Structure 1
Amino acid sequence: MTAVGIPGVDVPDHRGRTRLDRAGRDLTGNPGIVVRDVELLAAGWHVLRRTTFDQRRRDGSWTTEQRETYDRGNGATLLPYDVARRTVLLTRQFRFPAYVNGSPDGMLVETAAGLLDEQDAETAVRREAEEELGVVVGEVTRVFDVFTSPGSVTERVVCFAAPYTPADRVSAGGGLAEEGEDIEVLELDVDEALVMVDDGRIADAKTIILLQWAVLRGPLRA
């Protein structure tokens, strides 16, 4: 009898990947965590795993825990700002996960963002700025890295900011139609954007964090 392999583990899945069950098995940075097993639950475009590990509690006792992790890769996002006019460039697009979880119409206002897709973070964020916003920025500042939902999602997002002027607009933006993107570009006064945070019209976490950074510690401080 011929053994049947497991796609994504010992035979390639639909994206040609194997060894997807190896993530985390070699971690040694925390002596209070010992990974025992990693199960591949699903390997669609992204990867869902269940990991079993021993954890040493603060009182010295050990427990065995299981956690599911959703691995969609890492991303980068950019807040373009115009100091002279106190404006920022944002996007509006439909997000089904938000729509199915209480967003009235699923249309979210966000900073331009995307997955790294094997690029370095700065290259990726410049790509997204041109595709989504139609703007080519000069020097960018890496503000901070954030975990988006560390209870279950592995994604870490690198947050950038960069100055822009109207002369930096090279196209209408809108994203890539072949990837199903249909993105509206919004140029907003930063104070209006903050009002939108207060009243819920902006509810995206990375966008809120970058807007607040811009006016509290960044280039748009009053």
Structure 2
Amino acid sequence: MQDNKSNIKVISTETLSNNWATLNKVKYEYLLKNGTIQVQEREVYDRGNGAVILLYNKEKQTVVLTRQLRIPTWFNGNTDGMMIEACAGMLDDNNPEECIRIETEEETGYTLTKIKKVMEVYMSPGSVTEILYFFVAAYSDAMKTSEGGGAAHEQENIEVLEIPFKEANEMIAKGEIKDAKTIMLLQYAQIHNLL
């Protein structure tokens, strides 16, 4: 398989795992600028694309984040495995905006009226195919329509946190917020004076 627009020709693909997502071992030829062809082999993890959102309240100077167990972090030294994050989820069959509205309501209990897409990011381009769509949205207490906490059928056990924006930024420096997508959105909010 070769894309006429690229310098890449796939030689072989071997599926190593096809459980929650697909892990393939891919062997390919890569045409370098100097005209030589290099044969490379990589593992490519395809878990689909996702969306993430930062909810902010300018009047209260607060943001809404979540806390939940992320077992891979426990394996890499996160003692209790808990992570503080911006609300996020996989697109499944939805478009990014529809996905993040559904995830926001399920995870945080807020029903949003207006959201803004701010960027698209490959989160780990060396091994993962995922593009993450980043959003921000203003929220008010009146938009709280349920307790949130996640979808029971997805075995989610999510704690909803309303944190002063200044404190959230201090939590990054203290190592209490270590999630890349959340840090990026908090920095976006600071750079663009959302709060």
1:149 alignment partner, SS class = coil
2:122 pairs with 1:122: no
Partner Cα distance (2:68, 2:78) in 1: 12
Counterpart amino acid of 1:171?
S
Q: CA RMSD for the aligned pairs?
A: 1.2
Change (3 A) 1:142 1:26: farther
Change (3 A) 1:26 1:55: closer
Query: Contact between 2:2 and 2:9, CA under 8 Å: does it hold in 1?
Result: no
The structure with the largest alpha-carbon Rg is 1
Query: Contact between 2:2 and 2:8, CA under 8 Å: does it hold in 1?
Result: no
Higher relative contact order by CA 8 Å / sep ≥ 6: 1 or 2?
A: 2
Change (3 A) 1:216 1:174: same
2:124 alignment partner, SS class = coil
Change (3 A) 1:78 1:36: same
Partner of 2:138: 163
Give the CA deviation at 1:107.
0.4
Give the CA deviation at 1:37.
1.6
Q: Which runs of 4+ in 1 moved over 6 A?
A: none
**Is the deviation greater in 157-166 or in 60-69?**
60-69
2:104 alignment partner, SS class = helix
Partner Cα distance (2:174, 2:3) in 1: 43
Give the CA deviation at 1:39.
1.6
Matched residue pairs, number? 195
**Identity score, percent:** 43
Give the CA deviation at 1:28.
3.8
2:179 pairs with 1:216: no
Residue segments in structure 1 that go unaligned for 5+ positions in a row: 1-24
1:209 alignment partner, SS class = helix
2:173 pairs with 1:198: yes
Partner Cα distance (1:208, 1:116) in 2: 21
Partner Cα distance (2:108, 2:2) in 1: 40
TM-score, length-scaled by structure 2: 0.96
2:8 pairs with 1:33: yes
Give the CA deviation at 1:142.
0.3
Give the CA deviation at 1:218.
4.5
Partner Cα distance (1:33, 1:203) in 2: 35
Counterpart amino acid of 1:29?
K
Aligned pairs for 1:96-111 within 5 A: 96-111=71-86
Partner Cα distance (1:82, 1:89) in 2: 9
Bigger strand fraction: 2
TM-score, length-scaled by structure 1: 0.85
Residue segments in structure 2 that go unaligned for 5+ positions in a row: none
Counterpart amino acid of 2:178?
A
**CA offsets 1:112-164 (integer angstroms, 9 cap, x no match):** 11100110000000000000000011111001011111111111110100010
Partner Cα distance (1:41, 1:162) in 2: 39
Change (3 A) 1:90 1:56: same
